[in-house]
Structure 1
């Protein structure tokens, strides 16, 4: 039995004749055909998703600080990899842990996060983007 593990990817411009990955052909934005050693497998149907546009990305220093705070709050070992794409739930955080992370972020950055904003944070990148936005409005 074979399995394929992949992370998410996005297509900035779609060209149906271009092969993005050897053995992988995208026939349209909603399905992928995979062939391996001459054998073609059934198409994989991709779930539709509304495009996400980021108006600004957080500074690398902010993301790094958030990663450190998340690791500290969740008592993760030094060998744990936490990146901007890391989801709090995937790191083992429950709702109380998320509240404690937000409190740690507020203390570290000298900001105040509204409850509505805190509930929309799912990833380290979400938190870093929110922090940079709050810091910009604080300066203005």
Structure 2
């Protein structure tokens, strides 16, 4: 607890002393550099929902039991894509790998559609 408070105070101290000239543009480094720098520094920003959607749809389309034409941002894993519970677990595991996160079992059990996966991962602070 003391360490967390110390780190918080250190971060606050750095933020009050850090000056970035107005002429400095992170976009000159390219969008990925700017976005990753800001995400890493701010610590509380999330991935763009459109990017998350594209990546999730791509992962689901790669699953061997999924008909690619049926995959959409609102597709239900069982009803629309015909996946059983084991297939759903495999898809969620593939999403964990894609976004470099660990989804607790209690949360993973709630992800039954692409829409729920998009919502969960776009709001996950550690998703990469």
**Shorter chain as normaliser: what TM range?**
0.5 to 0.7
Contact kept, 8 Å, 1:74 with 1:97, in 2: the verdict is no
Aligned length: 79
Q: For structure 1, which runs of at least 5 residues remain unmatched after alignment?
A: 1-57
Please identify runs of 4+ aligned residues in structure 1 that moved more than 4 A: none
CA–CA separation in structure 1 for the residues paired with 2:51 and 2:87: 23
Normalising by structure 1, what TM-score? 0.51
Counterpart for residue 131 of structure 1:
121
Instruction: For residue 81 of structure 1, report the CA deviation from its aligned partner.
Output: 3.3
Report SS of the residue matched to 1:105. helix
Aligned to 2:106: 116
Higher fraction of helix? 2
Alpha-carbon contact 2:66-2:82 (below 8 Å) kept: no
Of 76, 81, 96, the residue aligned with 1:87 is: 76
- Highest relative contact order (Cα 8 Å, sep 6+), 1 or 2? 2
Q: Which of 97, 101, 104 is the equivalent residue of 2:91?
A: 101
Native 8 Å contact 1:69 1:105 kept in 2? yes
In the superposition, the TM-score normalised over structure 2's length comes to 0.56
Alpha-carbon separation, structure 2, partners of 1:124 and 1:83: 7
Deviation at 1:76, TM superposition (A): 3.1
- Cα offset, 1:77, TM superposition: 4.4
Partner of 2:14: none
Counterparts of 2:113 and 2:66 in 1: how far apart (Å)?
Answer: 16
Q: Aligned ranges for residues 1-140 of structure 1 at < 5 Å? A: 59-78=49-68, 80-89=69-78, 90-134=80-124, 136=125, 138=126
SS in 2 for 1:116: helix
CA RMSD of aligned residues (A): 1.8
Aligned residue for 2:73, secondary structure, equals: coil
